[in-house]
Amino acid sequence: MICLGIETSCDETSVAVWSQENLLKEITHTQISMHSVFGGVVPELASREHLRKLDTLISLLQKELGSDLFSRLDLIAVTRGPGLLGALLVGIAYAKSLALGLEIPIIGVNHLHAHLLACNFSAPITYPALGVLVSGGHTHIYQMDSAHSFILLGKTLDDAAGEAFDKIGKILNLPYPGGKYIDLLGQRGTANSKIFTKPYLNNDNCDFSFSGLKTAVYNFIQKNEIPALNYENLNLEAVPQQVRDLCATVNEVIVETIVEKTRRALALCPKTRTICLAGGVAANTLLRQRVDNFAQTRNINFLAPPQNYCGDNAAMIAYAGIQLARCNQSSALDFEAIPRGQLFPDDYISKPLS
Ligand code: KG4
Ligand code: ZN
């Protein structure tokens, strides 16, 4: 089975082709430099850039994999949501046209589930699993009973973990998106976990709330006169110790909050055999270490995608498409995009691949 994957949910335009168990090629164009001037993703610009780039990336795929690529495709998988509506629509309209023209099935993939299934890129997931999905837009914990059975156990009530990292990065004047820089600077500093309270632990649920943390960090910076950085030529080694220590503390607080909620979710799912950590924030060094350590103490497998497949990519979309197709699932051609905040419908149609 050969599947073309298309991802345009946010600020990466990405295309990829999977053949059975092998990723044949993935090409990603990131829009980070375009949005960094604004300190965040500008939805309208993102959609326009996807429109400008998508067809070029598909042509590059054909160049790499052969001009007969289209005739070899069995399936098209495209991110259906959650994401930015305009951005999603670009990928979906392209994918639908292609599927219609080639007369092959199409699958609208849940972006969050695809992130978690990318743990299979490292080693096979043994089910039941616990899925800890931490990205720029979402922080979700799922019970995963199979590649297509996800039960939501907890989610963020406001900012996602990646959003918290990025907003704190902005306060510190770090390059956008700040998560990676807080990770790198934190590795060069010493955490003091007494400075900030770990947010939203004073309850017994698996939900998150990170929005108060950025305010606490802002107030701390004002009070302690932490120097602002010049990110034009950011030299990590030259960053003042105070800033590195603050980054280490922010890392510690966010990571330990995620570990604690994972511990609670595990109590709800005692049969768990694997903890899957995925999404852009799963690239965080401390988070990978701590969740891995926690899993080891419980004799559970730990899996995360390779660091270069934690962020948005079409390889995970094509892969998820193949997993769904193997269960005879596909989408009707008139499926709609699902923007962030809207419930992802369970409306796959049962259709064996010819
Ligand atoms: O999954 P993703 O690529 O996009 C969404 O679907 O949201 O996640 C992007 C998020 C950003 O907030 C980015 O700052 C964060 O992942 N991120 C990190 C690291 N690398 C990327 N956060 C913390 N530490 C990192 N090393
Ligand atoms: Zn994502």
Give domain limits for the chain.
2-116+310-350, 126-304
CA atoms of 227 and 221, how far apart (whole Å): 8
Atom of ligand 1 minimally distant from the CA of 285: 26
What is the CA 63 to chain-centroid distance, rounded? 28
DSSP 141-174: EEEEEETTEEEEEEEBSSS-HHHHHHHHHHHTTP
Distance (angstroms) between ligand 2 centre and the Cα of 192 equals: 30
Residues 6+ apart with CB under 8 A from 194: none
Confidence of residue 2 (pLDDT cuts 50, 70, 90): very high
Atom of ligand 1 minimally distant from the CA of 163: 12
CA atoms of 313 and 11, how far apart (whole Å): 10
Atom of ligand 1 minimally distant from the CA of 312: 3
Q: Is there a contact between 80 and 109 (Cβ–Cβ < 8 Å)? A: yes
DSSP letter assigned to residue 327: T
Which residues, listed in sequence order, are joined to residue 13 by a DSSP beta bridge?
A: 29
Is it the case that residue 237 has pLDDT exceeding 90?
Answer: no
DSSP 63-117: HHH-TTHHHH--EEEEEEESS-HHHHHHHHHHHHHHHHHHT--EEEEEHHHHHHH
Closest-approaching ligand to the CA atom of 161: 1
Distance (angstroms) between ligand 1 centre and the Cα of 39 equals: 14
Homologous superfamily assigned to 126-304: ATPase, nucleotide binding domain (3.30.420.40)
Greatest Cα pair distance in the chain: 66
Choice from 41, 165, 253 to test ligand 1 binding pocket (greatest atom count within 8 A of CB): 165
Average pLDDT over residues 227-250: 87
Q: What is the pLDDT of residues 28-79, one digit of tens each?
A: 999 999 999 998 999 999 999 999 999 999 999 999 999 999 999 999 999 9
**Which pTM value belongs to this model?**
0.96
Confidence of residue 227 (pLDDT cuts 50, 70, 90): confident
CA atoms of 337 and 288, how far apart (whole Å): 32
- Reply yes or no on domain 2-116+310-350 having CATH 3.30.420.40: yes
Confidence of residue 229 (pLDDT cuts 50, 70, 90): confident
Of 10, 100, 49, nearest in space to 314 by CA = 10
Distance (angstroms) between ligand 1 centre and the Cα of 137 equals: 9
Among protein residues, the one with the nearest Cα to ligand 1's atom 3 is 311
CA atoms of 350 and 150, how far apart (whole Å): 18
pLDDT value of residue 161? 97
Is it the case that residue 354 has pLDDT exceeding 60?
Answer: no
Domain 2-116+310-350 shares a fold with domain 126-304: yes
Average pLDDT over residues 109-129: 98
Q: Is there a contact between 77 and 336 (Cβ–Cβ < 8 Å)? A: no
Q: Pick the range with the lowest mean pLDDT from 167-176, 200-209, 291-300.
A: 167-176
Helix (H) or strand (E) segment spanning residue 14: strand 12-19
Among protein residues, the one with the nearest Cα to ligand 1's atom 2 is 280
Is it the case that residue 352 has pLDDT exceeding 80?
Answer: no
Closest-approaching ligand to the CA atom of 184: 1
Distance (angstroms) between ligand 2 centre and the Cα of 342 equals: 16
Residue type, 246: L
Average pLDDT over residues 329-348: 94
Angle, vertex CA 103, rays to CA 100 and CA 108, nearest 5: 60
Choice from 112, 135, 185, 287 to test ligand 1 binding pocket (greatest atom count within 8 A of CB): 135
Question: In this structure, is the dihedral angle defined by the CA atoms of residues 29, 173, 236 and 183, taken in order, positive or negative?
Answer: negative
Which residues line ligand 1 at a C-beta cut-off of 6 Å?
A: 10, 135-137, 162, 165-166, 177-180, 183, 279-281, 283-284, 311-312
Residues 6+ apart with CB under 8 A from 4: 15, 16, 17, 61, 69, 73, 75, 76, 77, 98, 318
Q: What is the pLDDT of residues 325-337, one digit of tens each?
A: 999 999 999 999 9
Angle, vertex CA 325, rays to CA 322 and CA 329, nearest 5: 145
